[in-house]
Amino acid sequence: MSADMTLTTELRLLTYTAFIGLVVWIPYILAAIKVRGLSRAVGYPSGGTEDLPDWAQRGHRAHMNLVENLAPFAVLVLVAHALGVSNAATVLGAQLFFWARVVQIGVMYAGIPWLRTLSFAVAMIGNLIIFAQILYH
């Protein structure tokens, strides 16, 4: 028995989301280096991000929020894939999640509050669409 090696749209978007998680921290870490200096930035500074510019603090929160929401998205996409559930609805759910997360990161760095909340809700709807397809498979 061999594993299905098809890279579906949903798996591709999961991969892209993981890549974003790998790079979204770079701007706020560069701000930390600028504010704290390299030795302190790579050490274990006490406190959080309070000493960083507002945009960098929001960037840190955007990164943490992506990390928190990547796990449920990944589980849903992987379970759907394991069950062979890939259809227009699961693709739509993955697209909603991915693009909403891209928007959310951008608006969080920019400090746009209403779009941040709206994009979070759209990403959640994307996850719920995939969940429904798994549940009613």
Q: Which domains does the chain have, with CATH numbers?
A: 9-135 (1.20.120.550)
Q: pTM, whole model, 2 decimals?
A: 0.91
Instruction: Render each residue's pLDDT in the chain as its tens digit; 137 residues.
Output: 345 578 999 999 999 999 999 999 999 999 999 999 998 888 876 778 889 999 999 999 999 999 999 999 999 999 999 999 999 999 999 999 999 999 999 999 999 989 999 999 999 999 999 999 999 99
For residue 74, count other CB atoms closer than 10 A to its CB. 15
pLDDT at position 3 is: 55
Amino acid at 68: E
Buried b (16+ CB within 10 A) or exposed e, 9-45: bbbebbeebeebbeebbebbbebbeeeeeeeeeeeee
Which residues have C-beta within 8 Å of that of residue 96, sequence separation ≥ 6?
122, 123, 125, 126, 129
According to the model, what pLDDT value does residue 84 have? 96
Residue 4 pLDDT: 56
Cα 20 to Cα 22: distance, rounded to the nearest angstrom: 5
- The three-class DSSP label of residue 95 is helix
User: What pLDDT shows up at residue 25?
Assistant: 93
